[in-house]
Amino acid sequence: MNDQEAMAAFAALSNVTRLKLLKALVRAGPAGLNAGALADAVSATPSRTSFHLAAMAETGMITSTRQARQIIYAVDFARMGEIVTYLMSDCCADAPALLECCAGGAASR
């Protein structure tokens, strides 16, 4: 994960529709959801949903696989991990004050 990839990932996270899509996909887990269901979940038109899903897939954050007539999207958790890691180490140089939030923070709440 280089700076450019990371920036693209952050850009993907800075839009309401895309953030909602990610949350819906996280909730769905590895099984994923099809485009139509996602459009419903985030109350967006098919075209708008497709546009944003394509943007997210471009960053590697999510994957897409065709299943008959539908296209199933799912979170790539490994890739999401890379993004968090980038933010912690590459970007913030493993600042001690930041590592705390991880040690006792996210995991335990």
β-pairing, 33-34 with 62-67?
Answer: unpaired
Q: In this chain, which of 22, 38, 39, 62 binds its own copies, going by CB under 8 A? A: 22
Q: Which of residues 28-57 bind DNA (CB under 7 A)?
A: 34-37, 39, 44-55
Q: In this chain, which of 40, 46, 54, 94 binds its own copies, going by CB under 8 A? A: 94
Q: Choosing among its own copies, DNA, none, which partner's interface includes residue 71 (Cβ < 5 to 8 Å by kind)?
A: DNA
Q: Go through 87-96 and write b for each residue having 16 or more CB atoms within 10 A of its CB, e for each that does not.
A: ebeeeeeeee
Neighbours of 38 (CB within 10 A): 26
Does 68 participate in binding DNA (rule CB under 7 A)? yes
Does 82 participate in binding its own copies (rule CB under 8 A)? yes
* Residue with Cβ nearer DNA (6 or 39): 39
Please give the Cα distance from 93 to 82 (Å, whole number). 15
Enumerate the β-bridge partners of residue 70.
67
Q: In this chain, which of 40, 58, 65, 84 binds its own copies, going by CB under 8 A? A: 84
DSSP 45: -
* Residue with Cβ nearer DNA (67 or 108): 67
Please give the Cα distance from 34 to 96 (Å, whole number). 41
The binding site for DNA (CB under 7 A) comprises 11, 15-18, 34-37, 39, 44-55, 64, 66, 68-71
